[in-house]
Structure 1
Amino acid sequence: MTSTTLPERAGRRCHNVVNPLHSTHYFSPDLGHELAALGIEDPSAAYLAARAAALGPVGAGTVAATFYNFNPELVARHLPGVWRKASVEQVLAARERAVDATLRRLLGDEVVGSPAMAEAADLALRATEGCTRPARPLYAAHADLPVPGAPHLAFWYAATLLREHRGDAHLAVLLAAELDPVEALMTHTATGKGMSPKWAIGTRGWSRADWDAAAGRLRERGLLDADGGLTDEGVEFRRGIEVETDRLDRGPYERLGAAGVERLTELATGFLMPALAAGAFPEGMLGRN
Structure 2
Amino acid sequence: MTSLKPPAQAAALHPRAGRRCHNALNALHSTHYFSPDTGRELGEIGITHPKAVNFAARTAAMGRVGAGVVTAAFYNYKHETVAQHVPGIWDTASPEDVLAARLRAVDTTLRRLLGEDALTSPEMAEAAELALRATEACSRSARPLYSAHADLPVPEQPHLALWHAATLLREHRGDGHLTALQHAELDGLEALVSHTATGKGMRPKWNFTTRGWNQEDWDAAVERLRARGLHDGAAELTEAGVELRKDVEEATDRLDRAPYEHLGAAGVERLTELGNVFAGAALQAGAFPADLLGKE
Which of the residues 195, 198, 205 maps onto 2:205?
198
Higher mean alpha-carbon deviation, 43-52 vs 5-14, is at: 5-14
Q: Does 2:219 correspond to 1:212?
A: yes
Tell me, in whole angstroms, the C-alpha distance in 2 between the residues paired with 1:118 and 1:279. Answer: 24
Query: Structure 1, unaligned stretches of length 5 or more?
Result: none
Which of the residues 168, 177, 186 maps onto 1:170?
177
Aligned partners of 1:128 and 1:252 also within 8 Å = yes
Q: Which residue of 1 aligns with 2:106?
A: 99
Tell me, in whole angstroms, the C-alpha distance in 2 between the residues paired with 1:226 and 1:187. Answer: 11
**Kindly, what percent of the aligned residue pairs are identical?**
65
**Secondary structure of 1:78's partner?**
coil
Which of the residues 27, 33, 57 maps onto 1:26?
33
Say how many residue pairs are matched.
289
Tell me, in whole angstroms, the C-alpha distance in 2 between the residues paired with 1:2 and 1:249. Answer: 23
Q: Which residue of 2 aligns with 1:185?
A: 192
Question: What TM-score, normalized to structure 1?
Answer: 0.98
In the TM superposition, what whole-angstrom CA distance separates every residue of 1:125-154 from its partner, at most 9, and x where no partner exists? 000011000100100000000000000000
Which of the residues 98, 116, 126 maps onto 1:119?
126
Which of the residues 235, 241, 251 maps onto 2:248?
241
Question: What TM-score, normalized to structure 2?
Answer: 0.96
Amino acid at match of 1:14: C
Tell me, in whole angstroms, the C-alpha distance in 2 between the residues paired with 1:207 and 1:12. Answer: 30
Which of the residues 108, 118, 124 maps onto 2:115?
108
Q: Does 2:218 correspond to 1:250?
A: no
Tell me, in whole angstroms, the C-alpha distance in 2 between the residues paired with 1:123 and 1:3. Answer: 17
Name the larger-Rg structure: 2
Q: Which residue of 1 aligns with 2:5?
A: none
Q: Which residue of 2 aligns with 1:73?
A: 80
Structure 2 CA distance for partners of 1:3 and 1:130, relative to 1, 3 Å: farther
Q: Which residue of 2 aligns with 1:278?
A: 285
Q: Does 2:152 correspond to 1:152?
A: no
Shift of 1:4: 7.6
Q: Does 2:19 correspond to 1:5?
A: no
Shift of 1:43: 0.7
Q: Which residue of 1 aligns with 2:3?
A: none
Tell me, in whole angstroms, the C-alpha distance in 2 between the residues paired with 1:41 and 1:283. Answer: 24
* Aligned-residue RMSD, C-alpha: 1.2
Aligned partners of 2:15 and 2:253 also within 8 Å = no
Amino acid at match of 1:225: D
Aligned partners of 1:38 and 1:85 also within 8 Å = yes
Amino acid at match of 1:59: G
Amino acid at match of 2:206: W
Shift of 1:274: 1.3
